Structures are given as structure tokens and as C-alpha cells.
Amino acid sequence: MTLDNRSDIFACGVVLYELLVGDRLFLGESDFSTLEKVRNVELVPPTRLNKSLSPHLERIVMKALAKNREDRYRWAGEMAEDLQRYLFATNQPFARTDLQRYMAQHFKKEIEKE
């Protein structure tokens, strides 16, 4: 199949999953077995590994990681909107300025080098 933007959505889903559970999503005993896990989308739902995750957030992650690309978000903006809605619904608003402050606080040395 030809690649489209939904492969990037899948990659974002992998990163989000790993951030939420604190562990690698697709890790096999060899490079080949890791690739097979990715190809088959062998994953454990994140709420099994992080009991504090909300089902709403899990639905977002699982939609981004859907094996069938037709079941994934079509555009990154759709995923961003769902994440923003989740944050507002849980009274955790987050804006670009929050990210800027976070980066400045946690990556001060790297920013100074640049």
C-alpha cells in the first residue's frame, strides 16, 4: 500500500502511547520481531499498563494506532482537536505558551547552546 499522512498519525500514536505508559510499545527480541509487532499492531491497551489513564484518552491513542489506516484519524488536526477536547473536559487546558515554558524549563542548556 502507498503511504499517506496516516502513517504519521500512527507514529504520533506510538509516541503518545509510550509517553502515557512509560515503556516501549513495539519491542521484540530482534529487529525482525519488532518489525513484525509493528506490522501486526500487537499492543496492549494502555489502560492495562497505566491504570490512571482515562478511557477517553485511551480511545484517542487507540484510534491513532488502528491497524487499518481507514480507522485512524484522517488528519493530525483531528487528533489534535480530540486531545484538546480531552484536556478541556478534564480541566487541563494546555496552550502553546505552556509548551514553550515547559521546554524552556526542562531544556535550558540545550536552548542556550543553540
Per-residue pLDDT, 94: 80
Is residue 1 scored above 80 in pLDDT?
no
**Which set of grid coordinates corresponds to residue 65?**
494506532
Q: If you compute the radius of gyration of the chain from its CA atoms, what whole number of angstroms results? A: 16
Q: What pLDDT sits at residue 51?
A: 94
Provide the pLDDT for residue 76.
94
Q: Specify the amino acid at residue 72.
A: R
pTM score of the predicted model: 0.80
> Do 50 and 21 form a contact (C-beta atoms < 8 A)?
yes
Residue 93 region, left (φ>0) first, then alpha (ψ -120 to 50), else beta? beta
Q: Is the pLDDT of residue 40 over 90?
A: no
The whole-number pLDDT of residue 41 equals 87
Question: Does pLDDT of 48 surpass 90?
Answer: yes
**Among the ranges 15-19, 32-36, 107-111, which has the highest mean pLDDT value?**
15-19
